[in-house]
Amino acid sequence: MTAPLVELTGVSKHFHTKVAWPRGESVPPHVAVWRALTRKHAVLRAVEDVSLAIAAGETLGLVGESGCGKSTLGRTLLRLLDPTSGTIRFDGTDITRLDQSALRPLRRRMQMIFQDPYASLNPRMTVGATVAEPIIIHGLAATRRERDERVADLLARVGLPADAAGRYPHEFSGGQRQRVGIARALAVRPELIVCDEPISALDVSIQAQIVNLLQDLQEADKLTYLFISHDLKIVQHICDRVAVMYLGRVVELAPATTLYREPRHPYTRALLSAVPVLDPRARRARIILQGDVPSPLAPPPGCAFHPRCPVVDKPAACTTVVPVLRLMKNGSQVACHAVND
């Protein structure tokens, strides 16, 4: 792997939320006064002690169930959210505690494609104005003509017609709106793009087109992607390596071919067992996890996965010691007390 463009070391992101009273019950006056005076808050541990590196030109997939912290990690990586602890380095520069003025020059090099293409676009702005906005903010065009030519070129690159610049987001389909979002992200010539479930809101027939477009753009512009998704088949197709998250932690990290051929963590095996496969010989026995995902407000002690883990003879450490990623002989990194080479 080449030198990393992005490095996360021990990154955590916690949110403080008010302690809720049981639903359907009124809060007694003395409790309301106590909460107001003490400002008692609970800690939601959305991301916990994550260390990752993404090489220039690589696509790293980030998968897991809804609510596991994938999107929070992506936003924290870009400093759209401030990390609670840990270190974030971009191209060798520590950006963990940079203020907004110091971050601004780096914003041009790091962009994001959002899950909902309609919600991420201003309905009162034309598509041309939307794509031109970051060009204006970062001063990337000397004249109006140069800016308009760049907007036209960007729209053509993402497969939109020439007259798209004068139209509004509501006039386009979901797939076309996502192309607008991609054009806007490309407008500042970034190096890193965080793709936050960019196809989950689209029809299945359109998803492959957007994935192919992202791959073509990556090859042409030497882009680096963090590709967040819950669609394991798409991740297998587009990603070089895959990180699996559970309740805020990375539990397995491996090259995509290795992870899909030989998953090691029990949670990864359960996820892959649910992926439809056309070839009956390649199908895995379905693993049904028992219970619900624990709340990040009160994660279980030790391994957060242990209450749902299908391993019959779990080591005692599972309930007391948080497992760390260990390198396996096959090249995977696995955080599990029950997995041995």
117 — pLDDT class (breaks 50, 70, 90): confident
Between 313 and 337, the higher pLDDT residue: 337
What tens digit of pLDDT does each residue of 277-326 get? 766 766 778 888 888 888 888 889 999 999 999 987 888 899 999 999 99
Decide if 306 is inside a domain: no
Average pLDDT in the 62-70 region?
Answer: 93
List for the chain the helix, strand, coil content (%; round to 5).
35, 20, 45
Average pLDDT in the 22-49 region?
Answer: 64
Average pLDDT in the 327-336 region?
Answer: 94
186 — pLDDT class (breaks 50, 70, 90): very high
pLDDT for res 19: 56
How many Cα neighbours within 13 Å face the side chain of 269?
19
Residue 170's Cα: distance from chain center in Å?
A: 26
What tens digit of pLDDT does each residue of 200-244 get? 888 888 999 999 999 999 999 999 999 999 889 899 999 999 999
- Asked if pLDDT for residue 66 goes beyond 80, the answer is yes
Decide if 307 is inside a domain: no
In this structure, of 37-41, 58-62, 111-115, the range with the lowest mean pLDDT score is 37-41
Average pLDDT in the 175-201 region?
Answer: 94
Are 148 and 89 spatial neighbours (Cβ–Cβ below 8 Å)?
A: no
Nearest one of 14, 132, 158, 146 to 73, comparing CA atoms: 14
Q: Which positions ≥6 away from 96 have C-beta within 8 Å?
A: 83, 86, 87, 88, 89
Decide if 69 is inside a domain: yes
Are 211 and 237 spatial neighbours (Cβ–Cβ below 8 Å)?
A: yes
* CATH code of 42's domain: 3.40.50.300
Decide if 156 is inside a domain: no
Decide if 131 is inside a domain: no
- Asked if pLDDT for residue 5 goes beyond 50, the answer is yes
Q: Assign 46 to helix, strand or coil.
A: strand
Highest mean pLDDT: which range of 26-35, 183-192, 289-298: 183-192
- Asked if pLDDT for residue 157 goes beyond 70, the answer is yes
Decide if 61 is inside a domain: yes
d(CA 256, CA 258): 5
pLDDT for res 313: 83
Distances (CA, A) of 120 to 177, 224, 285: 9, 21, 40
How many Cα neighbours within 13 Å face the side chain of 136?
10
Average pLDDT in the 82-103 region?
Answer: 94
What's the whole-model pTM score? 0.89
Between 43 and 239, the higher pLDDT residue: 239
pLDDT mean across residues, the chain: 90
185 — pLDDT class (breaks 50, 70, 90): very high
Decide if 315 is inside a domain: no
Which domain does 41 fall in, by range?
4-109+190-292
d(CA 290, CA 217): 41
Q: How many domains is the chain built from?
A: 1
Average pLDDT in the 132-153 region?
Answer: 94
d(CA 309, CA 222): 40
Average pLDDT in the 149-164 region?
Answer: 94
34 — pLDDT class (breaks 50, 70, 90): very low
- Asked if pLDDT for residue 31 goes beyond 80, the answer is no
Decide if 72 is inside a domain: yes
pLDDT for res 8: 97
Q: pLDDT exceeding 70 applies to what percent of the chain?
A: 91
Cβ-in-10-Å burial (0-12, 13-18, 19+) of 151 comes to buried
